[in-house]
């Protein structure tokens, strides 16, 4: 389970070094928005060098690479960086699972070219950056993508695709279209049995807003969040780890069912606890175990 995904410009040695010290569960070495087109050839080389310098199955943080859109320089990016065995590729502006399957076929060939384990490089799709992408989110429940590890949604590119002047409502929250995209992405990820990752918070200086967003995201079912600054990593890691109170209560639920094997409902603190509560308690304990330092 990956809680914090920190974007780092792939052409900045200073930011790459700082990102590696941030405590993020995963770094996203970015070849797309944060790198000028003229700098991309050099940035690809820097990604390869960085991955080579941090090789190893047990490396932390995990190292992912955001390539460019598949109708742009995405395949060129992938062909350049796959040989250095990133943990996965972050794919922007994905319109549906068919595009990820096409990329997966390319990766089959690239992994064979470079002598890498078949299927080892995973995919993380930014799945709501066009109108078509939002409308096709339900397809992830029907079209398996074996390499897919996570889906996230974005609130910054979609307004431009829609011709909207803002993604906010008059009260300053997300407008209905973007709340819908968020919910649909969450449902699609869970249906596809991959991690649902919440979008970034633009103001990296507003820690209170970030913590509130993390708390809301975890309540809704998201399991991690995008970070755009190292200062956001700590609050995200804390926000997506179960609290001590939640872990203690989950253990009591599991213990109550263990004490009454074969029973579908037990009483606890004057309330009836049934199988959905048990499954949620087991998820809490599994998450706590995954986040042990």
Give the chain's count of helices (H) and strands (E): 11, 10
What pLDDT does 256 receive? 85
SS3 141: helix
| Averaged pLDDT score across all residues of the chain | 93
Write the pLDDT tens digit of every residue in 228-238. Answer: 999 999 999 99
CA distance 83 to 76: 12
Query: How many angstroms separate the first and last alpha carbons of the chain?
Result: 13
139: nearest Cα among 177, 200, 85, 98 = 98
Give Cα 192 distance to the centre of its chain: 14
Q: Does 129 belong to an annotated binding site?
A: yes
Domain ranges of the chain: 4-239, 244-290
The top-level CATH class assigned to 4-239 is: alpha beta
pTM score:
0.89
151: nearest Cα among 232, 233, 211, 94 = 94
Write the pLDDT tens digit of every residue in 41-87. Answer: 999 999 999 999 998 766 679 999 999 999 999 999 999 999 999 99
CA distance 235 to 214: 8
Write the pLDDT tens digit of every residue in 9-42. Answer: 999 999 999 999 999 999 999 999 899 999 999 9
pLDDT beyond 60 at 154:
yes
**In the beta sheet, which residues pair with residue 10?**
none
Ordered alpha helix ranges (H), 89-175: 97-113, 131-135, 157-162
140: nearest Cα among 129, 125, 159 = 125
Q: Does 66 belong to an annotated binding site?
A: yes
């Amino acid at each position: 389970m990956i809680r914090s995904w920190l974007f780092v410009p792939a052409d900045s040695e200073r930011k790459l070094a700082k990102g590696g010290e941030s405590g993020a569960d995963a770094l996203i070495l970015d070849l797309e928005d944060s790198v000028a087109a003229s700098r991309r050839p050099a940035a690809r080389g820097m990604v390869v060098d960085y991955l080579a310098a941090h090789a190893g199955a047990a490396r932390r943080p995990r190292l992912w690479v955001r390539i460019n859109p598949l109708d742009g320089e995405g395949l060129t990016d992938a062909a350049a960086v796959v040989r250095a065995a990133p943990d996965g590729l972050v794919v922007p502006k994905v319109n549906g699972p068919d595009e990820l399957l096409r990329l997966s076929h390319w990766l089959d060939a690239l992994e064979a070219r470079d002598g890498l384990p078949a299927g080892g490089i995973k995919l993380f799709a930014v799945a709501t950056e066009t109108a078509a992408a939002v409308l096709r989110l339900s397809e992830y429940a029907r079209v398996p993508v074996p390499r897919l590890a996570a889906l996230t949604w974005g609130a910054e590119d979609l307004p431009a695709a829609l011709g909207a002047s803002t993604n906010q409502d008059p009260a300053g929250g997300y407008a209905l279209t973007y709340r819908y995209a968020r919910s649909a992405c969450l449902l699609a990820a869970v249906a596809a049995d991959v991690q649902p990752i919440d979008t970034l918070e633009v103001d990296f200086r507003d820690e209170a807003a970030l913590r509130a967003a993390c708390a809301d995201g975890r309540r809704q079912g998201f399991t991690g969040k995008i970070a755009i600054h190292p200062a956001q990593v700590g609050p995200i890691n804390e926000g997506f780890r179960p609290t001590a109170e939640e872990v203690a209560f989950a253990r009591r639920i599991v213990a109550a069912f263990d004490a009454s094997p074969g029973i579908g409902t037990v009483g606890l603190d004057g309330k009836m606890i049934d199988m959905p509560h048990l499954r949620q308690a087991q998820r809490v304990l599994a998450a706590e175990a995954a986040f042990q330092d």
